[in-house]
Structure 1
Amino acid sequence: MLDIRVLKIKMKKVLFALIIFLISSLLVFSQEETKETFGLKIGESIKVDGFLNESAWEKAPEISDFIQFEPERGESASLKTIAKILYDEKFIYFGFLCYDSQPEKIAAQMTKRDADIPNDDSVGVFLDTFHDRRNCYFFITNLLGTQRDGRITENGRTNETTWDGIWKSAGQKTDFGWSAEIAIEFGSLKYEPGKNKTWGINLGRSIPRVLELSFWAGPLESPEKVSQYGVLRGLNLRRAEKRAQIIPHIISKLEEGEKSELEGGIDARYAFSQMVSGNLTINPDFATIEADQEEINLTRFELSLAEKRNFFLEGSEIYQQRIRLFYSRRVSDIYGGVKFYGKSGGYEFSGLSAQTKKDQLDGEDSANFTVLRLKKDIMKSSTIGFLAANKLIGGKNKGTAGIDTSLYFTDTFKFTGQFALSYGDYNNNNIAFFLRPSYDSATFHIHLRYTQLGRRFRDNANEVGFIRDDNRHELDSAVEKTFWLKKWGFDRIKYRSNYNIYWGLDRNLRSWQIDQELSLDLKNKFSLEIEHTQEFKGRDDEFFEKDFRNYETEFELGYNTREWQHAQISYGFGRNFDSDFQLVKGGLNYKITQDFSFQYSLTRVIFDPDPEEETTWIHVIRATNYFTNDLFVKIFYQINSAIDKKNIQVLLVYRFQPPFGFIQLAYQKGTARFGERGAQGHALFLKIAYMF
């Protein structure tokens, strides 16, 4: 067994290094000069086609002199970029002229909305509409006009694409490289109307073939560091005219062996002001949502599954916390719900309430889930917040409540913390908290975290939240470093080291884990990653019947992983709870035509011995064909041999009022919960939604 004294010494060294870096950052910290720009207000219309050929673009001030974030932070961008800003009563427009001496190498493969578009040649707009130096919207597009949007919160702590705005985008190949236009509807943004308003802003460009990210405002410690953005001054902004959106839908269902069904529902959005809005949903449709992808779980803890339901997705970034007091996947299908979100006077607030249907599979009665979130801006770019989540079922309340903070003392030195309690069946040993100082620069990260979870905290909290385990005194530390070599055949080298150890509240050692990772990006587009993990799990009354020593070593080879179209394969081996195992994973993203993309992933795990019969093959296929940006077909197919699960979903979508008004035709077979074999027969769904 690993000598615990050695582990403690290593963690003390990490703490000492952290203190040195924090002191250094405070000593050298100075405020960079903030870049400023202006937008030109216009009266003529702009056709968003990517050409920038209207006369208004010629009059708009030029924004240039982009600065590299990587690979050579602080240096001028390797290729010239010019941006311009216009606005009228309805839209704010952004134009980009992207010069490229090798136009034949411009990457333009992504066609799916909210895909990882920076893996293509792309441009981005980041708008801090309250100029609070903490939160912003982002809008990214490529040569094909594909859209990725979302919100960054708490000065980069969260980055989510769950928010969908209403905007237009287009790109065009040119004799000098390529150009792009973006038009964002004011009605989809929250801001304070008035004259001579100031927004925070940054503009960016990605050139993946040389691993380059550059921005107008910089040099940045992180692309999401909103406090380092520039400013857009002199905006004369009126309140957006449209106050309400009503989106009714109908859905019909035909399933093998079942009666045909016809149902309807409604979604409504109302802007109480330009800064506060509310949403209502009645009988929302979750049937056509893509199934959870099967995956291997080498732990004995519950896996966290991604939320895919729009009602819970949009605005979910405000509920994200390290100790997760609200986990929307605890909420089953719902009759309906309401939610609101707003920001005013330095306060950000949100709430959600939903009534579930009776869960036929689990036999749980209808329940009400209610969540409230409040955050207050403090200092230059910091926040303090409160969250409460409650489940009311059978006349009894169960849930969580707590406070949290993110404190930025400099652009690199941050402290985060949280204090929470849970309530319900157990009213003692139900407290949890963590403290985490960290240092983050463009190429270096170090942190030390202490967490304590009471013995009964999880029992109550998992009625509404997600807590894998409790009864912990936990220490966690990590060091990460990126080296940009650009010589000897290497582009980039990354190293990561993580140490974790925790004891029960009775001071008995329960677990330790050491992770080491080294990744290499080569100039010939190949990449190599090596990971090694050693861990100890001590005997307890719930998860582990005796002491275990587990380990895993994994090698991964990739080609062109800096772009969407790539391939990778990995081989791992080790020992897991007294079974030897081998793990093979592979993946391929391939653009068959300009409009048809294909993704395949393979996971093969073999256990020896295998008393639980967990040896399995998992195959996952995704294919998408875009006839236009708003007419497309998607295919999802997966197999998990261990549970004999075969699941297929085909979805044809026409968005005649993007993104909310559409017609969907879906085919499904074998859809079921994660980790369960599907009994669903052939099923057809037709859904129509219209936005008023």
Structure 2
Amino acid sequence: MKTIWPNLLLLIPILGFSQNGSVDTRAQYQYHIKKTTHPIALDAAVGENEWDNHMPVSQFFNHWPSDVGQAQNQTEVKLTYDDQNLYLLAKCFDNGERIVQSLVRDSDEDYWGSDNFSLVLDPVNTKQSGFFFGVTAGGAETEGSLTIEGSLTWLSENWDNKWASKTAQYPGYWLVEMAIPFKTLRYNPNQSTWGINFVRGDKQNNAYTTWTQFPVNFNGISMNYMGSLHWDRSPEKAKGTFIFNPYVTSSSIRDYEDGEELEAQLNSDLGGEVKIALTSNLNLDLTLFPDFSNADVDQQVTNITRFNIFLPEQRNFFLENNDVFSNFGTYDVKPFFSRRIGIMDGEAIPIDFGGRLTGNISPNLRIGVMNVQTRQTGEFAAQNYSVGAFQQKVLKRSVIKGIFINRQATSNTQELEYSRNAGLEFSYVSESGKLNTTFLYHTSTTPENYKDTHFYGFDGYYSSKRLRTGWTLNIVGDNYITELGINPRLENYNAETEETVRLGYTLINPWLRYLTFVEDENKKLNYHGLRTWHNLYLNSDGTFNESQNNVGWDFEYRNTARMIVLARFRKVDLMFPTSLLGDDFTPIPIGEYNFPWGELRYSSDVRKKFVWKANLAYGQFFNGTRNGAMVEGSFRLRPWGSFGLTYDYNDIRLAEGYGEDKIHLMRFNGDISFSNKLFLRNVVQYNTQGDNVSVFSRLQWRYSPMSDIFLIYNENHDTAGLGIKNRSVVLKVTYWL
């Protein structure tokens, strides 16, 4: 009964917000495309008669930081096509001053920090998934997939496919041409209308403009506010939709901590991936002996919480179209997290093969099926992982989603023979997208046949231009086991008995943000505003476990600088003796702890050659104090080089006898772009908490579209005497057939 009243309070905003009507931008903004009668040369120069007969889009609207009025610097766009490609020409007018941060491809920070132009497409025309193609004024490309989470559109740059672009800079404007093969896209050949929009990044004015006009509380790539692309004749089904992407690697690896390994192990491996378009909307991906040596290095972090942290997925095979599997649960509990496959206790486990079937089998039904087999190692049994998911569109924008997950041991093991999860969710999204709420129910099964294996609740938000508010309710049973997911609060470690105890909980999380936009023409601020969020954790019996109350004020400056002031108060009923600073100190005893702290965060103008940011924090920490500081500086020799240094410091002083420690984390990044096809990335990290110094270097040459040569060097040392732990050198070659 103790949890009923907060649950009812959370329901009030869901029921109370009225649904405002939305502008139908797909009806209001329409482009009629015609097939070209002249060959299109991809040279960023307008040839004679090349584009004359094609309709121009010449009026862009402000979108961010203001969604009122027409763009100060306009953009003119034309589209056409032939039997193989969709072509785009964009003429981006300006005063001749442009920012190109880097030539590195697929770099989120560098792309949005530069002058850029983006094309977003919804070929299935269902507002559920799509594609993104973008290029900076300097020619750095990025592509990605568009997915829906709630009512917001998210971009994943990890989708990779073949397309081409060319840019050139002229006095008063810069020009971009794109050629996107039809076989790169997934579409219905019988459908004559697609969703489409264009997004322009104008960094001198720190502004983003779009073809369609819609509210600033939705990002520029929003699939709900696209225009319509009308074909004079629907594109035929693309030919040549069988793609083979083999690789070969040669490596030298030595583990210096293994006393029996006296010299480096030399290995050569073959493998590859096959992509098969079963239909225009349904894609089959197969992989044999996948190799992830070219994945970016994990960015190390300091963890001073009582629970494990989870580093993001870096492996391309799992990232492409991953949203159909991963878009379940809430921010606090995720039933599926692909990084759990092929990594055990931080150790990479070889994968023998894998397959994924993803796409639309009807305009309103999207599916995903994945199967991966890992190899038996000396310590871990071979495992087979299967995941199946669907998304069925209902009403106008709402979705019913379901998922089934199975982990099955395929060799003898003393661990659990299998673990299974299943879940069903209903996401209601209003037509305008302002109101979104997801109701969910998940369960798990293991050989022990436990009780209390549930996870259910709801999660949503309401968003207008100034007011944004949301709510989360999670009710997690004692035995909701997610071997392939994220559920960090379930397992509690007793530092005295060295036992791990599973304890279910209820999370109640309301949050609110209110922004004040500055309309003054000579303004220094774009906006400022209040944010507040509160997390209340209750035990399974309704008694108090933990609360976190936070309030802050945001300032976003016209010159792209940002500042945030935060005040926080945390109350914890610690149920088990806990070691926050390691086993060398007496565990903090059971009891109630109350501790406030404050934070100040600032980041400078990202358009400058030298960019810096700083975070300062101070306050109480359980029975002691915590003093934290982070300083980061980055110097850019645009567009070919970027060099950055980060120092993260935490000084934790608990009560006498319970420990004190100064935790240092330093990171150096050095990125060099020899061209927009040849890149060198270097990362050095020093982490006293993890007792590790790592050196990572990767040279990438994209010698042909979607074909790369990688040379990767990696080594790790301890922080005490810099004794070496391991070293590897890998040469990898991929080719797109």
Structure 1 residues 629-648: Cα deviation after superposition (integer angstroms, max 9, x where no partner): 22221112111123431111
1:215 aligns with 2:210: yes
Alignment deviations for residues 343-392 of structure 1 (CA, whole Å, 9 cap, x no partner):
121210111111112355xx321111111111111121221111111100
TM-superposed CA distance for 1:539, in Å, is 2.6
State the alpha-carbon separation in 2 of the partners of residues 406 and 132 from structure 1. Answer: 15
Aligned length: 670
**Contact persistence 2:705–2:736 (CA under 8 A):** no
Give the one of 534, 544, 564 matched to 1:529. 564
CA distance in 1, matches of 2:455, 2:667: 38
Cα-to-partner distance string for 1:91-131 (whole Å, 9 max, x where unaligned): 1112111111x322x21113222222122111111100000
* Aligned residue in 2 for 1:518: 553
Kindly report which structure 2 residues correspond to 1:164-179, keeping only aligned pairs within 5 A, or say none. Answer: 164-179=160-175
Contact kept? 1:119, 1:564, Cα under 8 Å: no
Mapped contact 2:30–2:228 kept (Cα < 8 A): yes
Tell me the CA shift for residue 567 of structure 1: 1.4
Q: 1: CA distance between counterparts of 2:63 and 2:463?
A: 14
Aligned to 2:260: none
Amino acid at match of 1:308: Q
Encode CA deviations 1:43-77: one digit per residue, 9 max, x unaligned. Answer: 43323232333523222101122122222213212
User: What is residue 657 of structure 1 aligned with on the other side?
Assistant: 704
Partner of 2:487: 467
1:415 and 1:534, CA in 2 relative to 1: closer, same or farther beyond 3 A?
Answer: same
* 1:83 to 2:77 alignment: yes
How many Å separate the matches in 1 of 2:48 and 2:424? Answer: 51
Cα 1:303–1:503 change in 2 (3 A) is: same
> Which residue is equivalent to 1:329?
339
Does the 8 Å CA contact 1:474/1:501 hold for their aligned counterparts? yes
Indicate how the Cα distance of structure 1 residues 49 and 567 shifts in structure 2: closer, same or farther if over 3 A, else same.
farther
Give the secondary structure class of the aligned counterpart of 2:339.
helix
Measure the CA separation in 1 of the matches of 2:334 and 2:509. Answer: 17
Paired with 1:625 and 1:662, the residues of 2 have a C-alpha distance of 17
The residue that corresponds to 2:429 in the other structure is: 408
Q: Name the CA distance, whole Å, in 2 between partners of 1:545 and 1:89.
A: 71
**Is contact 1:597–1:624 with CA below 8 Å preserved after alignment?**
yes
Instruction: Tell me if structure 2 keeps the 8 A contact 1:266–1:283.
Output: yes
List per-residue Cα deviations over 1:558-599 (Å, max 9, x = no partner): 211478962111211122232311111122233224212223
Partner of 2:443: 421
Q: Take 1:519 and 1:317, find their aligned partners in 2: how far apart are those partners? A: 30
Give the secondary-structure state (helix, strand or coil) at the position aligned to 2:314.
coil
Partner SS state of residue 187, structure 1: helix
Q: 1:210 to 1:31 in 2, by over 3 A?
A: same
Residue aligning to 1:690: 735
* Equivalent pair of 1:74/1:219 in contact (CA under 8 Å): no
- Asked whether 1:440 is paired with 2:463, we answer yes
Deviation at residue 278 of structure 1 after TM alignment: 1.0
**Counterpart mapping for 1:223-622 below 5 A:** 223=219, 224-234=221-231, 235-256=233-254, 257-319=263-325, 320-321=327-328, 322=330, 323-332=333-342, 333=349, 334-345=351-362, 346-358=364-376, 363-393=379-409, 396-411=417-432, 412-424=434-446, 425-457=448-480, 460-461=481-482, 463-470=483-490, 471-487=504-520, 489-523=524-558, 526-541=561-576, 545-561=590-606, 566-609=611-654, 611=658, 614-622=661-669
SS in 1 for 2:574: coil
- Counterpart-to-counterpart distance in 1, 2:311 and 2:178: 33
Task: Measure the CA separation in 2 of the matches of 1:52 and 1:389.
Answer: 52
Match for residue 258 of structure 2?
Answer: none
Instruction: Please say if residues 621 and 654 of structure 2, whose CA atoms lie closer than 8 Å, have aligned partners that are also in contact.
Output: no
For 1:612 and 1:246, the matched residues in 2 are separated by: 56
Q: Is the 8 A contact 1:209 1:563 kept in 2?
A: no
Instruction: Tell me, in whole angstroms, the C-alpha distance in 1 between the residues paired with 2:590 and 2:155.
Output: 39
Structure 2 residue corresponding to 1:110, chosen from 102, 105, 108: 102
- Is the deviation greater in 485-494 or in 599-608? 485-494
The match for 1:187 among 183, 188, 204 is 183
Report the CA distance between 1:422 and its aligned residue. Answer: 1.0
Which residue does 1:666 correspond to in 2?
712
Instruction: State the superposition RMSD in angstroms.
Output: 2.6
Matched, 1:49 2:43: yes
Distance 2:245 2:122 in 1: 28
Between the aligned partners of 2:381 and 2:166, the Cα distance in structure 1 is 49
- How far, CA to CA, are the matches of 1:415 and 1:472 in structure 2? 21
**Deviation for aligned residue 1:442:** 3.8
* Unaligned 5+ runs, structure 1: none
Name the CA shift for 1:565/1:121 in 2 (closer, same or farther; >3 Å): farther
Give distance in 2, aligned partners of 1:536 and 1:290: 38
Q: CA separation of 1:52/1:549 partners in 2, compared to 1, >3 Å: closer, same or farther?
A: farther
What is the TM-score of this pair, normalised by structure 1? 0.91
Q: Cα–Cα, structure 1 residues 358 and 678, in superposed 2: closer, same or farther, change >3 Å?
A: farther
The secondary structure found in structure 2 opposite 1:370 is: strand
Which residue pairs with 1:637 in the alignment? 684
| Matched residue type, 1:70 | W
Native 8 Å contact 2:76 2:92 kept in 1: yes
User: Which amino acid in 2 is paired with 1:417?
Assistant: F
Deviation at 1:678, TM superposition (A): 9.3
Identity over aligned residues, as a percent? Answer: 19
Contact 1:159 / 1:317 at 8 angstroms: preserved in 2?
no
Change (3 A) 1:612 1:172: farther
Q: 1:683 Cα deviation (Å)?
A: 2.5
Cα 1:138/1:473, change in 2 over 3 Å = same
Seen in structure 2, the aligned counterparts of structure 1 residues 355 and 466 have a Cα distance that, compared at 3 Å, is same
Q: Residue type matched to 1:325 in 2?
A: P
Offset at residue 337 of structure 1 (A)? 1.0
Is 1:426–1:456's contact at 8 Å kept on the other side of the alignment? no
CA distance in 2, matches of 1:413, 1:500: 21
Whole-angstrom CA distance in 2 between matches of 1:445 and 1:147: 33
Question: Deviation of residue 680 (structure 1)?
Answer: 4.1
* Unaligned ranges ≥5, structure 2: 255-262, 343-348, 491-503, 579-588
- CA deviation map 1:264-300 (0-9, x unaligned): 2122111112211111111111234233211112321
Amino acid at match of 2:337: Y
| Counterpart selection for 1:156 from 152, 157, 162 | 152
Distance 2:552 2:640 in 1: 36
Q: 1:472 Cα deviation (Å)? A: 1.9
Against the structure 1 CA distance between its residues 490 and 12, is the aligned structure 2 distance closer, same or farther, given a 3 Å change threshold? Answer: farther
Contact 2:163–2:705 (CA under 8 A) maintained in structure 1: no
2:161 partner amino acid? G
Residue aligned with 2:112, SS: helix
Any conservation in 2 of the 1:290–1:636 contact (CA below 8 Å)?
no
